[in-house]
Amino acid sequence: MNTQKLKRIRAQRRKYRVRNRIYGTPQRPRLSVFRSNMHIYAQLIDDLHGVTLAAASSCGKNSGLSYGGNIAAAREVGRKIAELAKAKGITQAVFDRGSYRFHGRVAALAIAATEAGLKCTDPEAIRAKQEARAQKQAEAPKAKAEARPRGGPPAGKAPAKKEKAAK
């Protein structure tokens, strides 16, 4: 099968797996994110009635962005969607990352929306994960230095002596 087709099928499975666990209501809509190479889009969706309550994107004349494929644009879209949500009286949302990892532009959008007043993520948990990852990376060089050199005997064991074969 074509590799691009397989890649699309795997992404669709991830999206359905994420979407299966979350549901948007009028009080707590689903904040859905779509990311393309050039732009990023966000929508607040009420799944109960099947209605989009608010939308923001990095493309268009009123976005004020020259390029929408970077973290700065994602932060701006996060702020815009939070402002639109506040205007409608929405303070909480369920974050739907779709088939994308919570990393880079997607994470920047969610964090910016939370900081602007639309609670959709837990910033303390995100910071704790980042600190744990940084600590793990800081300890990794120490572990490599303590590892035995290649080709040598295992640590704590003496090399096995070869016996001469009797003729």
Q: Tell me, what CATH number does 8's domain have? A: 3.30.420.100
Residue type, 108: A
Q: Is 106 part of any domain? A: yes
Q: Is 163 part of any domain? A: no
Residues paired with residue 96 on neighbouring β-strands, in sequence order: 32
Q: Is 146 part of any domain? A: no
- Which pLDDT does position 56 carry in this prediction? 93
- Which pLDDT does position 141 carry in this prediction? 72
pLDDT digits (tens, 9 = 90+) for 39-83: 999 999 998 899 999 999 998 877 788 888 899 999 999 999 999
Calpha distance 163→61 (Å, rounded): 82
The CB density around residue 14, as the number of other CB atoms within 10 Å, is: 15
**Mean per-residue pLDDT of the chain:** 84
Please check whether residue 23 is in contact with residue 94, taking contact to mean a CB–CB distance below 8 angstroms: yes
Please count the structural domains in the chain.
1
- Which pLDDT does position 86 carry in this prediction? 94
The residues, any chain, with a CB within 8 Å of residue 107's CB and separated by 6 or more, are: 126
| Parent domain of 79 | 3-127
Banded model confidence at residue 26, pLDDT cuts 50, 70, 90 = confident
Predicted TM-score (pTM) of the model is: 0.71
pLDDT digits (tens, 9 = 90+) for 71-125: 999 999 999 999 999 999 999 999 988 888 888 999 999 999 999 999 888 777 7
Calpha distance 129→149 (Å, rounded): 32
